[in-house]
Every structure is written in C-alpha cells, then in structure tokens.
Copies of this chain bind each other. A is one copy, B any other.
Amino acid sequence: MIDLDDVGALRRNDPQGMGERIAELPWQCRQAWEIIESQPIPADYAQADSVVILGMGGSAIGGDLVRTLVRDLCPVPIFINRRYDLPRFVGQDTLVIASSYSGNTEETLAAFREASRRGAKLLALTTDGELAQMAKNPLTFSYVAQPRAALGFSLVMLLGILTRLGFVPDPAPDLEEAIEVMKELGSKLREEVPTSQNAAKRLALLLRGKLPVIYAAQHLAPVARRWKTQFNENGKCFAFFEVLPELHHNTVEAFPYPGELAEKGVILLLTSRLYHPRNILRFQVTEEMLDRYGIAHWSTEAEGRSLLSQALSTIHFGDYVSLFLAALRGVNPSSVETIAYLKKRLAQA
C-alpha cells in the first residue's frame, strides 16, 4: 500500500500524470472560455427551440452539469442523449451538440449522423476523429489527456456556446470566482499536502476497501455522478450515486436493514447552502437516520458563492479523492484497459 505522504510513490503510481491533469482544471476552464470566444457559431442557431447534447461517459458529464447549472436561466429545454438514436422531437429547430473528446465514440457518431439527416442545427465539440471530419465547422480544442480529464473544456465550451447564442447571461464573473475557489482548494489538496492537512487524502483513506454511495441534490446531482465515474475510472472501484429528494421516497426503506451494505458501504453526502431549504433539512434528517441505523457516512459542504463554483470546486475535490484512491488501490489512475478491451471486442463483431 502506497503511503499517501510519499510524493515520489504517488508520482510513480501515476506515470501518465493524471495528478497534473487534475491540478490543471482551473487553468483548463479559463483556456476553454478563451477558445470558445473565437470559434465559429452560426448566429441563426439562436432560433433553436431546444438543445440536445450527445455524448457518453467523460464527454457527457459536461452536458449534465451545464443543463443543471442553467436550469433557471435557459428559455429552451436541454437534453442529454446517451444513446445511439434520437427522440422523435429532434428536427430542424433543434440545436444538436455532439461532445466527444476522441471524436470516435460510436453512440455519439450514430446519433450525430441521424441529427444531420433530420436537418438539425449541428455543432461538434472534439479534439479530432471522425466527428471533426463530419462536422462542417467543428469546435476543436487540443489537450492530451483521458476524456474525463478534459471536463473543463467540455463543460466551459458548452457554457460558452449557450452564452454566445444568448440562451444564458454571461457567466464570466461566476467562472472567475469558480477558478479562484478551485485554485485555493487545489492548493490544499495537491499531492504535496500531507494527509494530516489534506481532506482528499483523508477521504480516500476512509474509502479504502469500501463501497462509496454518493448522495446529492439539485446542482450537485451531476457532481455526484462525476464522483461515481471518477471512482470507477481513476480508482477502478465500484461506486453508486442517488439523488435527493427522490431517494427519500424509496431508498430510505432499506436504512433500518443495512445488512447487505453495512460492512462495505459508506454514504457520501454532498451538501450546499444553495439548496432549497427543504433539501437542506432533508440532508440533516438523512444524516440523523444514517446515524440511528449505524450506516457509515461522511459529508462535505460545497465551496463557492455561485452554483458554477460550487459544482466545479466539488468536482475538483472528488477528482483528487479518486486520484488518491487509485494510489491506495495500487492502480494507474490514467489506464482504461477494460474500456479499451471492450471497444476492441465490439469492433471485432
């Protein structure tokens, strides 16, 4: 087991530099905002009556986040499409944005082709691949990393598209705040900060050998999903997430009978002062109930004034936890051997 205070050992466990990619998130967000400001977006796309974002995995989560963050602002509905096909309503008046880091995600390409056949207003967000070829004016960025480590680009460029088209007011002040909050938080979580002062290292130690289950609400619900997928991909660890208040209508009936989860499960609660007052109360009551039934749990309150900075800073925290979890489990946080095997196996069929 790697000692989390042995920075050399942490670096040796991370030969492709996932730790550096994580540290770069604030920089990535600023870079993405500058890139999108100069990219070509047809002005008449502002007439779209709905937005559909195509993507899978690390390239889809930016869409989830943006959709939730602009929920109170955007006058048209936004959908995230994680399928090969498109819903019937997608047509000429729909803005379809394909997000694929590699540009070669088969589900995204299939749905993009269908959107093209239906005459939808098309945009493509990618580094390269078949998607860059197919799209007339792809919105491209360069960043050598795993798709999940390019979240700053996919999230902020999507936000930039919606801003340019007038669907949301200029988020630049919130983005500046988010970058500052992330920088400050990152300085407390990076590899050099010892466990005694590093909340991400301490949480990773708590989760060692455990099954994390993340609970969140509202703007942090897609952040809970991000934590789950980062634990999966960086930490090679099973994890699940659930959303409040929905889980109060079903999951809680299992609380008094935690046998099947008790030994391994740890509930992680992502809380926020910006939640609806009833949800703030619901989180408090959830903690009381978990205490009563002896179910291990841990909670953190999101940092930052805006929804955007709370979402981004909580993501930054979770990314670091997943990095240290990988070290404790002795796995390379960058590798995706199983996903690569799966793609090869599917290509042969």
Residues of A whose CB lies within 8 Å of any CB of B are: 49-50, 56-58, 60, 71-77, 79, 82-85, 87-89, 106-107, 209-211, 213, 218, 228-229, 232-233, 236-240, 242-243, 245-246, 248-261, 263-265, 276, 278-279, 281-282, 285, 289, 329, 331, 336-339, 342, 345-346, 349
Contacts and interface: CB of A to CB of B under 8 A. Distances in A.
A246 B342 CA distance: 13
Given A77-B79, A238-B260, A252-B338, A246 B57 contact: yes
Contacts of A285: 342, 345-346
Nearest to A237: B254
A39 B176 CA distance: 53
Most chain B CB within 10 A, of A71, A74, A254, is at A254
B245 A257 contact: no
Contact of A260 (B211, B250, B257): B211
Contact of A237 (B57, B58, B257): B257
Given A75-B88, A238-B260, A256-B337, 10 more contacts: A58-B250, A83-B276, A84-B276, A209-B260, A238-B261, A248-B342, A252-B342, A253-B339, A278-B346, A285-B346
A340 to B, nearest CB: 10
A237 B209 contact: no
Q: How many copies of this chain are found per oligomer?
A: 2
A249 B56 contact: yes
27 contacts: A56-B245, A60-B246, A60-B249, A71-B87, A74-B87, A75-B89, A83-B245, A84-B276, A84-B278, A85-B276, A209-B259, A210-B260, A211-B261, A229-B250, A232-B251, A237-B260, A238-B251, A238-B258, A240-B242, A252-B342, A253-B337, A253-B338, A253-B339, A257-B329, A260-B264, A261-B264, A285-B345
B89 A74 contact: yes
B281 A349 contact: yes
A209 B261 CA distance: 10
Contact of A218 (B83, B228, B239, B345): B83
Contacts of A346: 278, 281-282, 285
A122 B269 CA distance: 35
Contacts of A239: 254
A314 to B, nearest CB: 18
A265 to B, nearest CB: 7
Contact of A339 (B213, B248, B336, B345): B248
